[in-house]
Amino acid sequence: MALAAPLAACSAAEAGPPELLWYINPDSGGQERIAQQCTQESDGAYRLNTVLLPRDAPSQREQLVRRLAANDASIDLMSIDPPYIPEFANADFLAPVPDDVAQAVTQDVAEGAVAGASYDDELVTIPFWANTQLLWYRTSVAEAAGLDMTQPVTWEQIVQAAAEQDVTVAVQGVRAESLTVWINALVESAGGHVLENPEATDPQEVRPSLDSDAGRTAAEIIGGLADAGVGGPQLSNATEDINASMFEGDTAGFMVNWPFVWQRAQSAVEDGTLEQSVLDDFGWAMYPQAVEGEQARPPYGGINLGVGAFSEHVDLAFEAARCIVAPEKQAEYFLSDGNPPSSLTAFDDPEVQETFPMADVIRESLQNAAPRPQTPFYNEVSSSLQRTWHPPRAVSPGTSPQRADELITAVLQGEALL
Partner 1 sequence: MSTTTTGAGAVRAAQRPPRKPQRSDRARQEARLGLLLSAPAILVLVAVVGYPILQAVWDSLFSYKLTNPDARHFVGLGNFTLILGDPIWWQALGVTVLLTVVTVAVELVLGFGLALVMNNALQRLRPALRTAILIPYAIITVVSAFAFRFMFDLTSGFMNSWLPFVPADTDWFASFGSAVTVIALSEIWKTTPFISLLLLSGLAQVPGELQEAAKVDGATAWQRMRRVTIPNMKAAIMVALLFRTLDAFRIFDNIFIMTNGAAGTESVAFLAYRQTIQRLEIGIGSAVSVLLTIAVALIALMFVKGFKVNLAASTRAGR
Give yes or no for residue 54 binding partner 1 (CB under 8 A).
Answer: no
d(CA 8, CA 73): 9
CA distances from 327 to 7, 309, 345, 384, 398 (A): 31, 26, 7, 37, 47
The yes or no reply on residue 271 touching partner 1 (CB under 8 A) is no
CA 102, CA 35: separation in Å to the nearest integer?
A: 21
Hey, which residues between 223 and 262 contact partner 1 (CB under 8 A)? 233-237, 242, 245
DSSP lists the bridge partners of residue 283 as 137
Least distance to partner 1, CB of residue 236, Å: 5
Q: Is residue 276 a contact partner of residue 141, using CB atoms and an 8 Å limit?
A: no
The closest alpha carbon to 186, from 243, 225, 151, 150, belongs to 225
Contact predicate 399/390, CB 8 Å: no
Rounded least distance, CB 32 to partner 1, Å: 25
Task: Output 200 or 416, the one with its CB closest to partner 1.
Answer: 416
Q: Which of 25, 379, 388, 400 binds partner 1 (CB under 8 A)?
A: 379
* Minimum separation from the CB atom of position 356 to partner 1 (A): 26
CA atoms within 13 A on the CB side of 371: 24
Please tell me whether residue 415 binds partner 1 under the rule CB under 8 A. Answer: yes
Between residues 227 and 348, which has the closer beta carbon with respect to partner 1?
A: 227
**φ, ψ dihedrals at 377, nearest 5°:** -110, 30
Choose between 37 and 237: whose C-beta lies nearer to partner 1. Answer: 237
Residue 62 touching partner 1 (CB under 8 A): yes
Residue 24, helix vs strand vs coil: strand
Site string for partner 1, 170-209 (x = CB under 8 A): ----xxx---------------------------------
Pairing, β 168-170 against β 252-257: parallel
Cα–Cα distance, 399 to 396 (Å, whole number): 6
- In degrees and rounded to multiples of 5, residue 362 shows phi and psi of -60, -45
Q: Which positions ≥6 away from 368 have C-beta within 8 Å?
A: 112, 286, 295, 296, 297, 298
Q: Which is nearer to partner 1, 228 or 291 (CB)?
A: 228
**Nearest alpha carbon to residue 137 among 113, 117, 161:** 161
Q: Which is nearer to partner 1, 132 or 382 (CB)?
A: 382
**CB of residue 310 to partner 1, shortest distance in Å:** 14
Give the nearer residue to partner 1 in terms of CB position, either 96 or 391: 391
- Closest listed residue to residue 92, CA positions, set 115, 111, 65: 65
Binding mask 337-376 for partner 1 (x = CB under 8 A): ---------------------------------------x
Residue 232 or 298 having the CB closest to partner 1: 232
Closest to partner 1 by CB, 149 vs 416, is 416
Phi and psi for 247 in degrees, rounded to 5? Answer: -70, -20
Of residues 66-105, those binding partner 1 (CB under 8 A): 66, 69, 87, 90-91, 93
- Range in contact with partner 1 (rule: CB under 8 A) among 65-73, 162-170, 346-354, 361-369: 65-73
Q: Shortest gap between Cβ of 218 and partner 1 (angstroms)?
A: 20
Taking CB under 8 A as the criterion, the residue among 58, 96, 191, 229 binding partner 1 is 58
Q: How many residues bind partner 1 (CB under 8 A)?
A: 30
Binding-site ranges for partner 1 (CB under 8 A): 58, 62, 65-66, 69, 87, 90-91, 93, 174-176, 233-237, 242, 245, 376, 379-380, 383, 390-391, 414-418
